[in-house]
Amino acid sequence: MQSVGTASDEPTRLADIIAPMFGGQSGWSQRLENGVQAELVAGADAQDDCAVFALDGPMEIVVGSDYVRGPKFQLYELGYLSNYDIGYYLAMANLSDIAAMGALPIALLTVVRYPRSLPDDDFTALMEGIRDACRQVGAPNVGGDIGSAERIILSASAVGIVERGGSLLRTGARAGDRLCVTGPTGVAASAQRYFGGLGPGTTKLPPGEEEALISAWRRPQALVREGRCLSTSGVVTSCQDTSDGLKAGVQSLAAASGVGFVVEESALPVADIVAEVARLTDGDLTSVLLGDSVDFQLVFTVGEDAAPQLSKIFADAGLQFFDIGYATEEREVRLRRADGREEELPGVPWRHAT
């Protein structure tokens, strides 16, 4: 029971206010007069990337919403991201939630509010960024809400379809499952660290490497093909994207599934540019790989016996993933260092601060 005047943080509000208020939704259903039915498979209480409805016929739809802090983007304010870039990012951040459910995106809805003084060219560029990100994943932007506000406000929702029973939830990991990730993490965080933190005169990267770094923000990718492979394989037991960081993703799969994980430090995929920025900025590499970084990779679990089968499916599709650890009965998430020591995961997960 919160007392009058208290302003708790977001995780507390999710746990103490939202969860009790929206608990027990799953199983809710609604039916049209012609017998057509929609049943809620995963609602607000599931706290998954998206909500899931089973519909008549062999399909489910997934829906999710993400607000993106427009000019709050540090790299936008510093001039590294254009209006086109933040439009592109808004779309991909939302489409990534659909990918993480194993679904095929069919629609994006966008809310774009802006100061009256925003020039038409900037508005056009922002909308083109949205359009092009949608094209990249093959789903249309079907509308939403545009209009003025005192500053840029960006929010969106995305809709996807998936075969019945095919949605990838966070709840299915079992002890013994392999823990995997689709690619290197920490790139977006490294870009923030590098561009946001380096003062004038400090050692800089060559232009080509700077470009590679900033592209994590300029052209993030919703991993729709990877998500579809995970879903259609039938062997993946849980999944989410790493938009809150790899540590937060692993912790969330652990909490939702009621398991723990051992993450092997030596198995974490490392992008060269991330290692280089860690060196340049005296950062701890493993903390960067695990901490808050909106990379939109997918972190997932697969039954131990089925892991080779999944590797083959990915290889056949020209894709890859990395096995970084395994699920345990003991409900704790630990890092195994190269020297065998086990300790808590380093790195700060995203706390949804402004």
In the list 75, 101, 153, 310, the residue contacting a copy of itself (rule: CB under 8 A) is: 153
- Rounded Cα distance between 43 and 40, Å, is 6
Residues of this chain, 130-149, that bind a copy of itself according to CB under 8 A: 131, 138-149
Q: Which is nearer to a copy of itself, 136 or 215 (CB)?
A: 136
- Rounded Cα distance between 28 and 205, Å, is 54
Give, rounded to a whole angstrom, the gap between the first and last alpha carbons of the chain: 25
Of the candidate spans 66-74, 173-181, 194-202, 248-256, the one that interacts with a copy of itself by CB under 8 A turns out to be 66-74
Burial state string for 322-338 with b = 16 or more CB within 10 A and e = fewer than 16: eebbbbbeeeebbbbee
- Rounded Cα distance between 52 and 153, Å, is 27
The answer to whether 293 and 273 have CB atoms below 8 angstroms apart is no
- 45 marked ligand binding residue: no
Phi, psi dihedral angles at 62 (to 5 degrees): -120, 145
- Rounded Cα distance between 172 and 105, Å, is 23
What is the closest distance, in whole angstroms, from the C-beta atom of residue 240 to a copy of itself in the complex? 14
- Rounded Cα distance between 26 and 297, Å, is 27
Centre a 10 Å sphere on the Cβ of residue 289 and count the other Cβ atoms it contains: 31
In the list 54, 63, 90, 248, the residue contacting a copy of itself (rule: CB under 8 A) is: 63
Of the candidate spans 156-164, 259-267, 314-322, 324-332, the one that interacts with a copy of itself by CB under 8 A turns out to be 156-164
Residues of this chain, 67-126, that bind a copy of itself according to CB under 8 A: 67, 69, 104, 106-107, 109-111, 113, 116-121, 123-124
| Residue linked to tokens 């590294």 | 80
Residue 53 is a binding residue for a copy of itself (CB under 8 A): yes
Residues of this chain, 250-269, that bind a copy of itself according to CB under 8 A: none
Residue 14 is a binding residue for a copy of itself (CB under 8 A): yes
Residue 7 is a binding residue for a copy of itself (CB under 8 A): yes
Of the candidate spans 35-43, 79-87, 197-205, 304-312, the one that interacts with a copy of itself by CB under 8 A turns out to be 35-43
Q: Which residues are annotated as a binding site for Mg(2+)?
A: 49, 65-66, 97, 145, 241, 244
Q: Report the binding-site residues for substrate.
A: 350
